[in-house]
């Protein structure tokens, strides 16, 4: 009984801030400082319209979707190509290259955004979507290669052998045989990287100057800085940012649990 | 024929190696190089100044203050957050109703962004209109009401607790996975031998969980020492440096004072400190396992 009480209390603490966020997003500017009821008397959904239109969150939302989709697609292709080669193909320097990616997972470089800023400036990729996407692909690369290679190592080779005998090229085997078989681990890679990109803040902060290119996380901080007291709109913006991630999490949570436990084994 | 095949194999790793070289190795080398220079990030000329940046870091009181703050948050994460994570995992490991429901709920804070978590909690903790103060004054504790995030006495602890709220789900999942690898037969055997629940917990659960606990501790230290976005969203490092942390200082050196060389030196020395800490933890755990 005591155990249940403990678990329920903590679960409530996890959920309450989100409930309060949604509740605040449905109150008017006048109500929000006086009305502390959890369920507002009238649901002011127009806050979402205002945030989407005037607050510009519609634009920022689309930006976030675009960056997340591009980075995830990029990582799936680049990492699975490399992981497939590290697992199946033979070439000189293979072990050194693989070790290099693994070492990058272990070595923390705090403040790596400083040289990245300089680098993107020199390449004329700062304040561009491409610069941000490439930098973010690199962020997820090592872990994704590790997850995929571990999976390929355990995967039986019969189907690939059969495809080779049928005259399928190496790239063809990777695309037509290996990738479809790797679906379970690809789901982990997709979900984890999508979370990372959607929630990323500091690289986007230093890379983007133009408002039109900002993703949601940076836009929220900017909005909060400019309209410090417009809490209903801020809360609507926060809900717009948090809701997609919560929905994806609830739909895909078994892959997330897998990813965490697999990631823990790496460390 | 063979060389052609080898070349073909390189095509597979080429994109990954290219991106990795440009966005990881080059920045890595540059951090080391710029840390020995004085440079504002814009001018084509930078001045070689040897180890002057590092000498300045040694005397930088704000830097070491921020290190202490991060250490304090880490201490709370290691004790409060990880104890909570372990207790919840232990509670969920038993045959309990709604086990999966709890598992799903406890990992919601970790999937949210630090910006979202920081801004929502900032609203709840607001000194004038926040819900926490409203509840405190209505439930009969008006003397507890304060400006949680702008009072120097409470700001850092408040940030640390919100950080723990956001982070305990990670430890929870790893502890739970660890607990589930312990064979049930071990508990049953101990019970047959007349051991009570507390004895089982001490003699079976704890020893088998030490490697997992060390792993969680290392991940907690590395993660918490480098945390800073949550702090930007909650306090911006204030009031008056009371919630500054190292990465926030690096960002300030770069954006605030345009001292790229100094920022790189800060990053490099902080990275070395982190590697040293996790190495010590690892060695310590090896010894603990041998005993």
Domains of chain B: 59-290 (1.10.3720.10)
Q: Does A260 touch chain B (CB under 8 A)?
A: yes
* Size of chain A, expressed as the number of residues it contains: 267
pLDDT surpasses 90 at B234: yes
Q: Averaged over B138-165, what is the pLDDT? A: 92
> Which residues 167-186 of B are in CB contact (within 8 Å) with A?
170, 173-174, 177
B88, B222, B232 ranked by CB distance to A108: nearest:
B222
CB A44 within 8 A of CB A24: no
B 265-284 residues with CB below 8 A of A? 266-267, 270-271, 274-275
Residues B187 and B196: their CA atoms lie apart, in Å, by 10
Q: Is A188 on the interface with B (CB under 8 A)?
A: no
- C-beta neighbour count of A142 within 10 angstroms: 22
Q: pLDDT at position B284, please?
A: 78
Range list of β-strands (E), chain B: 37-38, 47-48
> Which of A6, A91, A235 shows the shortest C-beta gap to B91?
A6
Range with the poorest average pLDDT among A75-84, A101-110, B27-36: A101-110
pLDDT at position B2, please? 62
Instruction: Give the distance from CA B94 to its chain's centroid.
Output: 28
The residues, ordered by sequence, that sit 6+ positions from B140 with a Cβ below 8 Å of its Cβ are none
Percent of residues, chain A, with pLDDT higher than 70? 98
Contacts of B263 in chain A (CB under 8 A): 111, 114
Q: Which two tokens stand for residue A155?
A: 């995967």
As a whole number of Å, the CA-based R_g of chain A is 22
pLDDT digits (tens, 9 = 90+) for B245-267: 999 999 999 998 889 999 999 99
> Closest partner residue to A221 among B115, B121, B255, by Cβ?
B115
Residue A2: predicted pLDDT: 84
- Interchain contact, A217 vs B113, CB within 8 Å: yes
Q: Does B251 contact A202 at a Cβ distance shorter than 8 Å?
A: yes
Q: Provide, rounded to the nearest whole percent, the portion of chain B with pLDDT above 70.
A: 98
Give the separation between CA A104 and CA B218, rounded to whole angstroms. 17
Residue with tokens 């700001």: B155
Higher pLDDT, B286 or A216: A216
CA distance B246 to A54: 36
Cis peptide before B239 (omega within 30 of 0): yes
Write out pLDDT tens, residues B22-68.
999 999 999 999 999 998 877 778 888 989 899 999 999 999 999 99
Identify all chain B residues contacting A241, using CB atoms and an 8 Å cutoff: 113, 115-116
Tell me if chain A has a CB within 8 Å of the CB of B123. yes
The CATH label, of 3.40.50.150, 1.10.3720.10, 3.30.1490.20, 3.10.580.10, for the domain at A58-219+245-266 is 1.10.3720.10
Of the candidates B248, B259, B249, the residue with the CA atom closest to the CA atom of residue B37: B259
B-chain CB neighbours of A130 within 8 Å are: none
Confidence of residue B202 (pLDDT cuts 50, 70, 90): confident
User: In the predicted model, what is the mean pLDDT of chain B?
Assistant: 90
**Cα separation, A55 vs B217, whole angstroms:** 41
Residue A153 scores a pLDDT above 50: yes
Beta-ladder partners of A149: none
Q: How far off is chain A from B132, nearest CA to CA, in Å? A: 11
> Cβ–Cβ of B107/A249 closer than 8 Å?
yes
Q: What phi and psi, each to the nearest 5 degrees, are found at residue B47?
A: -100, 130
Of chain B, the end-to-end C-alpha distance in Å amounts to 57
Asked if A1 reaches chain B (Cβ–Cβ under 8 Å), the answer is no
Touching check for B80 and chain A: CB below 8 Å? no
Q: Which residues of A touch B274 (CB under 8 A)?
A: 108, 110
In this prediction, residues A244-252 reach a mean pLDDT of: 92
Band of the pLDDT at A260, cuts 50, 70, 90? confident
Interface check A11 vs B, CB under 8 A: yes
DSSP state of B73: H
The more confidently predicted of residues B140 and B285 is: B140
Q: What is the ipTM of this complex?
A: 0.92
Please answer yes or no on whether B108 and A14 come within 8 Å at the CB atom: yes
| pLDDT of residue B291 exceeding 80 | no
A156-175 residues touching B, CB cutoff 8 A: 170-171, 174
CA distances from B76 to A42, B65, B71 (A): 41, 17, 9
pLDDT score for A123: 93
Q: Which candidate from A90, A138, A257 shows the least CB-CB separation from B9? A: A90
For residue B89, count other CB atoms closer than 10 A to its CB. Answer: 26
Give how far A85 is from chain B: nearest CA, Å: 6
Contact A198 B16 (CB under 8 A): no
Q: A109 and B107 in contact by Cβ < 8 A?
A: no
Name the β-bridge partners of B48.
B37
Q: Angle at which helices A113-122 and B26-34 pack, to 10 degrees?
A: 110
Tokens describing residue B226 = 């480098």
A113/B270 touch (CB, cutoff 8 Å), yes or no: no
Greatest mean pLDDT among A258-267, B14-23, B90-99, B208-217 lies in B14-23
* Cβ–Cβ gap B12/A174 under 8 Å: yes
Q: What is the pLDDT of residue B42?
A: 78
Average pLDDT over residues B84-97: 87
> What is the average pLDDT score of chain A?
91
Cα–Cα distance measured from residue B87 to residue A80, given in angstroms and rounded to the nearest whole number: 38
Chain A contact set for B86 (CB, 8 A): none
DSSP 8-class letter at B95: S
Torsion of CA B84, A18, A216, B225, to 10 degrees: -20
List CB contacts (< 8 A) between B67 and chain A. Answer: none
The pLDDT of residue A264 is: 61
pLDDT band of residue A267 (cuts 50, 70, 90) is very low
DSSP string computed for A31-74: TTTT---SS-SS--THHHHHHHHTS-HHHHHHHHHHHHHHHHHH
């Amino acid at each position: 009984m005591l155990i249940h009480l403990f678990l329920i209390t903590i679960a409530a603490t996890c959920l309450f801030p989100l409930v309060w966020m949604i509740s605040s997003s449905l109150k008017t500017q006048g109500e929000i400082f006086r009305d502390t009821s959890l369920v507002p008397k009238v649901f002011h959904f127009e806050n979402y319209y205002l945030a989407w239109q005037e607050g510009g969150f519609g634009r920022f939302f689309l930006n976030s979707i675009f960056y997340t989709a591009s980075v995830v697609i990029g990582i799936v292709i680049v990492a699975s190509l490399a992981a497939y080669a590290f697992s199946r193909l033979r070439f000189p320097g293979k072990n050194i290259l693989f070790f290099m990616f693994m070492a990058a997972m272990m070595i923390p470089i705090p403040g790596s955004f400083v040289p990245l800023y300089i680098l993107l400036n020199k390449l004329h990729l700062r304040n561009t979507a491409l610069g941000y996407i490439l930098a973010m692909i690199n962020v997820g690369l090592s872990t994704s290669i590790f997850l995929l290679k571990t999976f390929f190592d355990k995967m039986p080779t019969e189907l690939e052998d059969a495809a080779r005998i049928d005259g399928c090229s190496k790239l063809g085997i990777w695309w037509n045989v290996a990738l479809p078989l790797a679906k379970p681990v690809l789901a982990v890679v997709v979900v984890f990287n999508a979370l990372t990109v959607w929630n990323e803040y500091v690289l986007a902060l230093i890379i983007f100057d133009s408002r039109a290119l900002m993703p949601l996380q940076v836009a929220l901080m900017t909005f909060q800085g400019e309209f410090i007291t417009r809490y209903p709109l801020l809360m609507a913006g926060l809900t717009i940012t948090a809701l997609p991630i919560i929905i994806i999490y609830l739909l895909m949570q078994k892959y997330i649990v897998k990813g965490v436990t697999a990631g823990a084994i790496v460390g | 024929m063979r060389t052609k095949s080898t070349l073909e194999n390189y095509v597979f790793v080429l994109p990954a190696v290219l991106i990795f070289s440009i966005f990881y190795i080059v920045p890595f080398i540059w951090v080391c190089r710029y840390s020995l220079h004085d440079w504002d990030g814009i001018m084509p000329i930078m001045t070689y100044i040897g180890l002057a940046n590092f000498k300045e870091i040694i005397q930088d009181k704000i830097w070491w203050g921020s290190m202490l703050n991060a250490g304090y948050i880490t201490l709370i994460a290691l004790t409060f957050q990880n104890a909570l994570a372990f207790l919840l995992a232990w509670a969920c490991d038993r045959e309990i109703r709604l086990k999966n429901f709890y598992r799903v709920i406890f990992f919601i804070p970790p999937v949210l962004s630090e910006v979202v978590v920081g801004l929502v909690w900032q609203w709840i903790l607001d000194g004038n209109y926040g819900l926490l103060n409203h509840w405190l004054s209505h439930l009969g504790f008006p003397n507890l009401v304060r400006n949680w995030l702008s009072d120097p006495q409470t700001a850092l602890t408040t940030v640390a607790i919100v950080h723990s709220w956001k982070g305990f789900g990670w430890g929870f999942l790893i502890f739970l996975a660890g607990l589930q690898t312990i064979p049930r037969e071990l508990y049953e055997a101990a019970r047959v031998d007349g051991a009570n629940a507390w004895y089982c917990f001490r003699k079976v659960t704890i020893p088998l969980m030490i490697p997992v606990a060390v792993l969680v501790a290392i991940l907690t230290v590395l993660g918490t020492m480098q945390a800073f976005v949550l702090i930007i969203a909650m306090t911006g490092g204030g009031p008056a440096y009371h919630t500054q942390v190292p990465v926030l200082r690096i960002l300030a050196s770069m954006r605030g004072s345009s001292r790229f060389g100094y920022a790189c030196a800060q990053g490099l020395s902080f990275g070395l400190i982190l590697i040293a800490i996790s190495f010590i933890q690892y060695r310590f755990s090896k010894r603990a396992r041998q005993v």
